[in-house]
Amino acid sequence: MGHDDLTVSGTYSWDDMPKSSAVDPRASVSKINGHGTTILRGEIKAGFKMPRHDHPQEQITMVMSGRLHVWSESDQEGTVLGPGGVARVPGGMPHGAEALEDVVLFDVFAPARP
């Protein structure tokens, strides 16, 4: 796809997106749904733990700042992601995370989340 082939059907600013803290007040998220993907921006306070869970979507997590310990059923020990770190979790695989510091991250889910 060349530069001239790019079409934009919507533009957004994360600063203008509504934030939700439905899971826990220490984890604030904003999301944009496309036709086949969801991108989520998360701001997570140090000490927040996302307990073991799974979902049908594949998830790719990209840490922008801070340190995040991530683990999955296939890697119980897990690893610590810092700025620029990326983790991929196949759909249906149980996984979890803990913010070791305040974290800003992006999650991409495919197919799109409800």
- Mind listing the pLDDT tens digit of every residue in the chain (114 residues)? 444 454 567 888 998 888 998 778 999 999 999 889 999 999 999 999 999 999 999 999 999 999 999 999 989 999 999 999 999 999 999 999 999 999 999 999 999 998
Please list, in sequence order, all residues whose beta carbon lies within 8 angstroms of the beta carbon of residue 82, skipping any fewer than 6 positions away: 63, 66, 67
Q: Which fold has domain 26-110?
A: Jelly Rolls (2.60.120)
In this prediction, residue 44 carries a pLDDT of 97
In this prediction, residue 53 carries a pLDDT of 95
Assessment of whether the complete model's pTM goes beyond 0.85: yes
